[in-house]
Each structure stands twice: as C-alpha cells, then as structure tokens.
C-alpha cells in the first residue's frame, strides 16, 4: 500500500470493539512495521530522554534534532538512505557540542547566540538540499513531522540493532553516568571520568535523536525525548523506577498516537505530541495534588 493509496482510501472507522479494532490495526503490514519501529524507538528515547532531562541538556537535544534535518535531506540528495544522514549529522553535531562546551572561555550569551545561528543555518541548508533534489519538496514535511507509512522491514531491523546497541552501552555506563549527572564534582573526586561520560552521553543522545526523528520527524522529537522523561521525574525520584516509567510513558504515547492516527484523518505527529503533553500535565497535576495533601497532613499533625 503506497502513500498515495492511503491518502485516497477511506479512513477506517473504529468499531469500538477493542479486539476487532486491534485486529484491523494490525491487518496491514505497514502498520505492523510502524508499531514495531515505534516500540523500538520509544524504549530508546525513554531511556536516553531520562538522562537528558536529568542532566538539563534539553536544548542540546533540540539542537541535535534540528541538525538532523539537513543530514536526512542531504543523504536523499546524494541517493543515500535518510537514516544514514540523520545518524551521521546527529552524532557529529553531538561531538561538536561536546567540544564546544569544553572551551569555557566563551561566555554564555555568545554561546546561545552561536547555537541559534548554527540552528538556523542547519535548517536553511536542509531546505536547500531538499529543493535541489527535485520533487522532494513534498518529502520535507515527512522529514520534519514524521510519517509512519512506508517503514520497511529492513528499517525496523536497523532501528532494532541501533536501539539494542544504544541500550547496551547505556547499561554499561548507567551507574557512573547517574553519579556524574547528579553530583559531577563528587564523581570527579572519586575518579569517575566525568568529561568522557559527558561526551559519550551526547553521542548516545545523537543516536537516540536520529532514531526518534524517523518516527516523529526532526521537529517533533521532543515529544518522545522530553515529555515522557519529564513526566516520570515529576512522579518518582528513584532513578531506576523513573527510567522505567519514562520508557512506559513513551511506549504508551507512541502506541496510542499511532492507533488513533490510523483511525482518523489527522497526522500522527499531532496525536503523539498532544498525548505526550497530556501525560506531562497529568504528572504535574498528580504531583501537585500529592504535595497539597502532604502539606495538609503536615498541618494537621
């Protein structure tokens, strides 16, 4: 089933019988691939996103995701797979940010202006590549806002391998990274290689962003990286549990978003971002409520 077929085909209506709906959802091969890819990506994004939020590096993630756009467009222009361009650009940009943040001489003001300039230039470059590649202008939106049609078996396999590698490296460095993230000075004093961990984590973040961008598009990566992790941290202070919770929220958001989008005429990107935002708001509300009850109990005592 091609994209054009999908656009003209009538939108399937949900029967509200859960089992029948699920069966319909999994009926097409492209949908099974999309859900498999979404699952793999959500697990990786949940874990990497947790550390990203913990380390306060959301804007680094934002920069990486936008730099991925010229990577994907450039790869298409050269006749390569967009995923390869995404991965190379994201990891290269991650290492670049790591190198930049080492030179402390630059004042903060100049640094954010430089990041803003580089961001805009990267996006402009992506636009140039896309217009140079004739007929690709329609593909820009898919790159920026994601698509879940047309994910091939090979792509699912690639995403799976990338995610497994990422999770394996993450598992190896989770303990020292947690230490270094929470208290960098104490960790450095205890001989933890803080600098090395920081650069390695940025590179992993690059991989995670490149993966997530293939589902959500480069502009909406934050929906999977930030919101689930931020929601988890609102609810739970213990790192292991919070990480699990973050993965769980990312999974739920992806599955629900894709399923709802399948039964509606509107794009996946909208549902995934809205659900992620709702999860974050819900977590804030739960915490606020718990805090209020805690205060009241304290006042009563």
Q: Quick one: 266 exposed, middle or buried, by C-beta within 10 A (0-12, 13-18, 19+)?
A: exposed
Q: Which is nearer to other proteins, 32 or 136 (CB)?
A: 136
DSSP 28: S
Whether 100 and 60 have beta carbons less than 8 Å apart is answered as: no
Distance of closest approach, residue 195 Cβ to other proteins, in angstroms: 22
DSSP 104: T
Distance of closest approach, residue 132 Cβ to other proteins, in angstroms: 6
Whether 245 and 233 have beta carbons less than 8 Å apart is answered as: no
Distance of closest approach, residue 104 Cβ to other proteins, in angstroms: 15
Q: Which is nearer to other proteins, 192 or 220 (CB)?
A: 220
Residues across the chain: 301
Q: Please state, in angstroms and rounded to a whole number, the distance separating the CA atoms of residues 283 and 281.
A: 5
Q: Please state, in angstroms and rounded to a whole number, the distance separating the CA atoms of residues 175 and 178.
A: 5
Q: Which is nearer to other proteins, 44 or 192 (CB)?
A: 44
Whether 194 and 183 have beta carbons less than 8 Å apart is answered as: no
Per the listing, tokens 């399937």 go with 12
Distance of closest approach, residue 161 Cβ to other proteins, in angstroms: 27
| Residues in touch with other proteins (CB under 8 A) | 53, 56, 58-59, 61-62, 108-110, 112-121, 123-125, 127-128, 131-132, 137-138, 140-141, 144-145, 219-223, 226-227, 230, 265-267, 269-274, 276-277, 280
Residue 293 has φ and ψ, to the nearest 5°, of -65, -40
Distance of closest approach, residue 267 Cβ to other proteins, in angstroms: 5
Q: Which is nearer to other proteins, 123 or 258 (CB)?
A: 123
Q: Which is nearer to other proteins, 118 or 252 (CB)?
A: 118
Q: Which is nearer to other proteins, 94 or 221 (CB)?
A: 221
Residue 143: count other Cβ atoms within 10 Å of its Cβ. 26
Distance of closest approach, residue 153 Cβ to other proteins, in angstroms: 27
Torsion-angle region of 211 (φ positive above 0: left; ψ -120 to 50: alpha; else: beta): alpha
First to last CA, the chain: 65
């Amino acid at each position: 089933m091609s994209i054009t077929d999908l656009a003209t085909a009538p939108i399937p209506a949900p029967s509200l019988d859960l089992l029948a709906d699920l069966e319909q959802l999994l009926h097409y091969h492209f949908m099974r691939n999309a859900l498999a890819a979404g699952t793999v990506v959500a697990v990786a994004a949940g874990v990497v996103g947790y550390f990203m939020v913990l380390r306060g590096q959301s804007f680094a993630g934002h920069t990486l995701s936008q730099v991925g756009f010229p990577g994907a467009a450039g790869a298409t222009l050269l006749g390569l797979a967009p995923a390869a361009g995404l991965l190379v650009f994201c990891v290269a940009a991650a290492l670049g940010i790591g190198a930049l943040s080492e030179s402390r001489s630059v004042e903060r003001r100049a640094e954010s202006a430089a990041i803003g300039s580089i961001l805009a230039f990267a996006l402009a470059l992506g636009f140039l590549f896309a217009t140079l590649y004739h007929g690709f202008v329609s593909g820009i939106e898919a790159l920026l806002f994601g698509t879940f049609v047309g994910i091939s078996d090979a792509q699912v396999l690639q995403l799976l391998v990338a995610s497994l590698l990422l999770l394996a490296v993450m598992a190896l460095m989770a303990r020292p990274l947690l230490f270094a993230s929470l208290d960098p000075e104490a960790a450095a004093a205890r001989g933890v290689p803080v600098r090395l961990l920081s650069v390695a984590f940025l590179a992993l973040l690059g991989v995670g962003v490149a993966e997530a961008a293939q589902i959500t598009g480069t502009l909406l990566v934050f929906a999977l990286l930030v919101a689930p992790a931020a929601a988890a941290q609102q609810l739970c202070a213990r790192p292991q549990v919070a990480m699990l919770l973050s993965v769980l929220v990312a999974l739920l958001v992806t599955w629900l978003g894709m399923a709802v989008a399948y039964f509606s005429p509107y794009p996946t990107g909208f549902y995934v971002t809205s659900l992620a935002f709702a999860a974050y708001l819900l977590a804030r509300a739960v915490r606020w409520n718990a805090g209020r009850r805690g205060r009241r109990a304290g006042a009563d005592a």
